[in-house]
């Protein structure tokens, strides 16, 4: 897309990684607080063990966790490695997305969608239901940025495709909600991620969609095999009943995990 690719990327990729690390830090807050109905802005981050509010230098993404050797400065209780891992992976995904989309404005839109997808995925992986608001906010913000950014550069196929993709996803999601409002089937958990997926896939070219779809099918199959084997069921041709146990949240949300894998991989093919 961009003719001045190298100089622009030399600025935008490091910037995207830094923003990604900060967004990852925010995602940790969202994932912990939103399912509990708590505010994401107040109070500031605190240690869940000793309740002490964290100083700014204890809150630097990844660096603080490494410097404090994964323990709280005051109570010395271990801090989960999940926090720096989420921050790091968000930084990497933002960097890759920016690289894949040549550091354009559209890249910022796809970074937003990726952050939303990660939030939904992490909440569902934690065994809780992600509120529709998380996916809806990410989709609206991501869609606006993608459409404005693509329109700015006269990439009307990306702008139009994102709008059509989102509209189709909203339709599918509405039908799913009408037919199964409570969504008892654990395989359907995280289906609000469909909204993000629709916007995302709509803007991609056919080759990227084909790559994403292939990876999605493979990831979905692997997740189902994993779910069956974890549930002690044979993985033969007879479909085993979907495990509905809360203690296996990771494997009961193959929809989200499959979408996340498909999207992460399609990033590089994008643009
Ligand atoms: Zn503490």
CB 189 within 8 A of CB 256: yes
Per-residue confidence (pLDDT) for residue 169, from 0 to 100: 92
SS3 53: strand
Q: Diameter of the chain by CA atoms?
A: 55
| Token pair 């997926």: residue | 197
Cα distance between residue 246 and residue 145, in whole Å? 36
Question: 267: which 2 tokens?
Answer: 């990033």
CB 123 within 8 A of CB 35: yes
Cα distance between residue 67 and residue 62, in whole Å? 9
Helices (H), 180-253: 193-202, 206-230
Question: pLDDT (tens digit, 9 = 90+) per residue, 10-38?
Answer: 999 999 999 999 999 999 999 989 888 88
Cα distance between residue 123 and residue 127, in whole Å? 7
Question: 94: which 2 tokens?
Answer: 């933002």
Cα distance between residue 26 and residue 34, in whole Å? 11
Q: CA 212, 214, 215, 221 torsion: positive or negative? A: positive
Task: State in Å: Cα 118 to ligand 1 middle.
Answer: 26
Rg, Å, the chain Cα set: 19
Whether a cis peptide bond, with omega within 30° of 0, leads into 135 is no
Task: State in Å: Cα 56 to ligand 1 middle.
Answer: 15
| Token pair 């995302």: residue | 200
pLDDT tens series, the chain, 271 aa: 445 556 888 999 999 999 999 999 999 999 989 888 888 888 888 887 888 888 888 889 999 999 999 999 889 899 888 899 999 999 998 998 898 888 899 999 999 999 998 898 888 877 788 888 999 999 999 999 999 999 999 999 999 999 999 999 999 889 888 887 777 666 666 788 889 988 988 888 777 777 777 777 777 777 777 666 666 544 444 444 444 444 444 444 556 666 666 676 666 666 5
- CA 44-46-48 angle, to 5 degrees, is 145
| Token pair 């969609």: residue | 209
Task: State in Å: Cα 79 to ligand 1 middle.
Answer: 9
Task: State in Å: Cα 147 to ligand 1 middle.
Answer: 44
Residues 6 or more apart whose Cβ sits within 8 Å of residue 77: 47, 49, 50, 71
Task: State in Å: Cα 69 to ligand 1 middle.
Answer: 13
Task: State in Å: Cα 65 to ligand 1 middle.
Answer: 13
Task: State in Å: Cα 55 to ligand 1 middle.
Answer: 12
Q: Which residues surround ligand 1, an ion (CB under 5 A)?
A: 47, 49-50, 72, 74-75
Question: pLDDT (tens digit, 9 = 90+) per residue, 232-242?
Answer: 544 444 444 44
Task: State in Å: Cα 34 to ligand 1 middle.
Answer: 22
């Amino acid at each position: 897309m961009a003719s001045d690719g190298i100089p622009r990327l030399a600025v935008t990729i490091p910037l995207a990684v830094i923003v990604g690390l900060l967004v990852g830090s925010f995602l940790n807050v969202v994932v912990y607080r939103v399912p509990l109905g708590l505010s994401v802005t107040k109070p500031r981050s605190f240690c869940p063990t000793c309740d002490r509010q964290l100083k700014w230098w204890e809150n630097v993404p990844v660096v603080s966790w490494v410097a404090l050797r994964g323990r709280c400065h005051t109570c010395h209780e271990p801090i989960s490695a999940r926090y720096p891992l989420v921050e790091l992976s968000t930084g990497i995904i933002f960097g890759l997305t920016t690289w894949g989309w040549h550091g354009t404005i559209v890249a910022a839109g796809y970074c937003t969608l990726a952050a939303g997808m990660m939030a939904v995925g992490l909440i569902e992986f934690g065994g809780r239901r992600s509120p529709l608001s998380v996916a809806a906010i990410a989709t609206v913000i991501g869609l606006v940025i993608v459409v404005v950014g693509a329109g700015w550069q006269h990439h009307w196929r990306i702008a139009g495709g994102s709008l059509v993709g989102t509209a189709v996803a909203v339709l599918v999601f509405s039908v799913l909600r009408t037919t199964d409002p409570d969504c008892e089937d654990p395989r359907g958990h995280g289906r609000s991620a469909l909204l993000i997926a629709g916007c995302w896939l709509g803007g991609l070219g056919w080759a990227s969609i084909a790559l994403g779809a292939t990876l999605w099918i493979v990831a979905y199959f692997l997740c189902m095999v994993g779910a069956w084997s974890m549930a002690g069921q044979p993985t033969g041709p007879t479909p085993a009943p979907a495990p509905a146990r809360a203690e296996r949240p990771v494997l009961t949300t193959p929809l989200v995990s499959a979408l996340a894998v498909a999207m992460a991989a399609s990033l590089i093919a994008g643009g």
